């Protein structure tokens, strides 16, 4: 062997190693991101100040508030503005009136406007209503959800208020949906209270027209020890039907719509088996009648099944405590946020695929300023079916008492592209619930 050949040998070896490394890298990148080039985060939107009359209703949004009722929430600068909603089924003709409650809060040097919550009803199902907040001002309209299937939910978590948020909201606006569900992290106010106001204005066109059912994430905490309790702003602004569902906290509640029972849980409030949330969940699930509500869903912020490097293991404690309850009740679908990417699982329980477990979907990719969680674990777990780090939103169409169609719509630049879709059948007819009857009784109802 010549001297030159001896010198080439290590170089060739290095080359082979480098090429192998590049191939592995390409396979890894393709495995997690496909051929789509992920966009960078976009800036927070600018909201130019425009003068308004002090009684002008701002940040109008609606939420389901018990059977055939809707809560209308809005804010006025005028502290003496009444919490009155006039409404009817024809434009400009309001033959019904309801009066609600008002609140306000201070946060360091910030003083909120008057926050009004007024429950209206009883309302007809699947009907357009026209309404006016405070007894005067602009007219808004909403449609009540249907009483029967089909029903469509729009789902987007970790929204924020950036250019990507706007893109996601535009796409949701194009979809024919009945109820919006948000598994936490709304405004990304993060202690700067005026951001709650701009977020409220940003979502008003959608949230005043269809009910927005939300649960809270870490960005809603805004806790300042000894000065400000956690979730104070969130609770004041986004009141959900917790009293209507027998809960003593706005941080966890449930609601029925069409033939679905939906449980909204709090990832940042106590969830151990001695906690109020656990007791409430157990009692709530024990009351579910799958003949009346064949579909059972749960939403919370921190995912239990997550193969992204981001927020790895953060949901483990809550999962250890509460997953047996959801399993015993036969929850069909769990929707979570927090991780800024999309991932869908098989039916899964206790860390493994299980035909009687829930389908877990992480959809924390609404478009906030923190950007995407690009890095998935190299080894895709056996329960993970689809994962991708892109902004987007989901649509769940429950077609009938047995079948639902889930789709995830990626924000491909500013176009929406349906990138994942699956038919899901409810557990009601699977035999899981009947087989687990004794387990259910033991776990949900006690010995
Ligand atoms: Fe989060």
Q: What is the pLDDT of residues 394-428, one digit of tens each?
A: 999 999 999 999 999 998 777 778 889 999 999 99
What is the CA(369)–ligand 1 centre distance, in A?
12
**Beta strand 342-349 with 384-388: parallel, antiparallel or unpaired?**
antiparallel
Superfamily of domain 58-142: Purple acid phosphatase-like, N-terminal (2.60.40.380)
**Beta strand 295-299 with 333-336: parallel, antiparallel or unpaired?**
parallel
Alpha helical stretches, state H, 151-245: 163-174, 194-207, 232-237
The angle, 0 to 180 degrees and rounded to 10, between the axes of the packed helices 316-329 and 437-445 is 120
Q: What distances in angstroms separate CA 63 from CA 74, 129, 150, 209, 411, one per listed residue?
A: 12, 14, 20, 10, 26
What is the CA(306)–ligand 1 centre distance, in A?
13
Phi/psi for 144 (5° steps) reads -75, 150
pLDDT above 90: residue 31? no
206-221 pLDDT, tens digit per residue, is 999 999 999 999 999 9
Question: Do 364 and 157 meet the contact criterion of CB atoms below 8 Å apart?
Answer: yes
What is the CA(108)–ligand 1 centre distance, in A?
23
State residue 430's pLDDT score. Answer: 81
What is the CA(102)–ligand 1 centre distance, in A?
29
Choice between 279 and 136, residue whose per-residue pLDDT is larger: 279
Q: Which token pair is 213? A: 């059912």
Based on the residue annotation, tell me whether 311 is a catalytic residue of this protein.
Answer: yes
Catalytic residue of the set 116, 311, 338, 393: 311
Compute the 3-state secondary structure of the chain and give helix, strand, coil in percent, each to the nearest 5: 25, 30, 45
pLDDT above 70: residue 15? no
What is the CA(311)–ligand 1 centre distance, in A?
9
226-271 pLDDT, tens digit per residue, is 999 999 999 999 999 999 999 999 999 999 999 999 999 999 999 9
Banded model confidence at residue 445, pLDDT cuts 50, 70, 90: low
Domain ranges of the chain: 58-142, 147-445
What is the CA(44)–ligand 1 centre distance, in A?
17
Banded model confidence at residue 35, pLDDT cuts 50, 70, 90: low
Task: Give the integer Cα–Cα distance in Å for 265 and 250.
Answer: 10
What is 147-445's CATH topology?
Answer: Purple Acid Phosphatase; chain A, domain 2 (3.60.21)
- Cα 297 to its chain centre, rounded Å, is 12
Banded model confidence at residue 288, pLDDT cuts 50, 70, 90: very high
Q: Which token pair is 153? A: 């939910």
Q: Do domains 58-142 and 147-445 have the same CATH topology?
A: no
Banded model confidence at residue 321, pLDDT cuts 50, 70, 90: very high
DSSP state of 376: B
Q: What distances in angstroms separate CA 72 from CA 250, 366, 395, one per listed residue?
A: 16, 24, 24
Question: Do 118 and 71 meet the contact criterion of CB atoms below 8 Å apart?
Answer: yes
Percent of the chain with pLDDT over 70: 88
Instruction: Tell me what the pLDDT averaged over the chain comes to.
Output: 90
Whole-model pTM: value is: 0.90
């Amino acid at each position: 062997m010549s001297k030159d050949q001896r010198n080439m040998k290590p170089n060739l070896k290095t080359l082979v190693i480098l090429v192998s490394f590049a191939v592995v890298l390409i396979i890894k990148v393709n495995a997690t991101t496909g051929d789509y080039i992920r966009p960078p985060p976009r800036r927070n939107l600018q909201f130019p100040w425009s003068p308004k009359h002090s009684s002008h209703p701002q940040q109008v949004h609606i939420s389901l508030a018990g059977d055939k009722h809707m809560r209308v929430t809005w804010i006025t600068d005028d502290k003496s503005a009444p919490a009155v909603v006039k409404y009817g089924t024809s434009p400009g003709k309001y033959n019904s009136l309801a009066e609600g409650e008002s609140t306000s809060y201070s946060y360091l040097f910030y003083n909120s406007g008057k926050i009004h919550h007024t429950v209206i009803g009883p309302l007809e199902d699947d009907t357009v209503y026209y309404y006016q907040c405070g007894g005067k001002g602009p007219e808004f309209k909403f449609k009540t959800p249907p009483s029967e299937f089909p029903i469509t939910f729009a789902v987007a978590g970790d929204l924020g208020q950036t250019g990507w948020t706007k893109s996601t909201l535009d796409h949701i606006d194009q979809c024919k949906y009945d109820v919006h569900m948000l598994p936490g992290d709304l405004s990304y106010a993060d202690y700067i209270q005026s951001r709650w106001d701009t977020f409220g204005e940003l979502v008003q066109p959608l949230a005043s027209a269809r009910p927005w059912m939300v649960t809270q994430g870490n960005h809603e905490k805004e806790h300042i020890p000894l000065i400000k309790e956690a979730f104070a702003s969130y609770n004041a602004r986004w009141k959900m039907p917790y009293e209507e569902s027998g809960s003593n906290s706005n941080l966890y509640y449930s609601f029925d719509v069409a033939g679905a029972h939906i449980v909204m849980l709090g990832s940042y409030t106590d969830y151990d088996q001695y906690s109020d949330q656990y007791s409430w969940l157990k009692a709530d699930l024990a009351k579910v009648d799958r003949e009346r509500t064949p579909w059972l869903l749960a939403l919370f912020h921190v995912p239990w099944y997550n193969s992204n490097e981001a927020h790895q293991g953060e949901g483990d404690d809550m999962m250890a405590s509460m997953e047996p309850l959801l399993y015993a009740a036969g929850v069909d679908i769990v929707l979570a946020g927090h991780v800024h990417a999309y991932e869908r699982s098989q039916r899964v329980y206790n860390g493994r695929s299980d035909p009687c477990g829930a389908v877990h979907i992480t959809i924390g990719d609404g478009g906030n300023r923190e950007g995407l969680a690009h890095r998935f674990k190299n080894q895709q777990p056996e329960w993970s079916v689809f994962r991708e780090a892109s902004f987007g939103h989901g649509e769940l169409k429950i077609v009938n008492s047995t079948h639902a169609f889930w789709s995830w719509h990626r924000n491909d630049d500013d176009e929406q592209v349906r990138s994942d879709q699956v038919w899901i059948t409810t557990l009601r007819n699977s035999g899981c619930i009947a087989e687990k009857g004794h387990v259910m009784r033991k776990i949900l109802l006690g010995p």
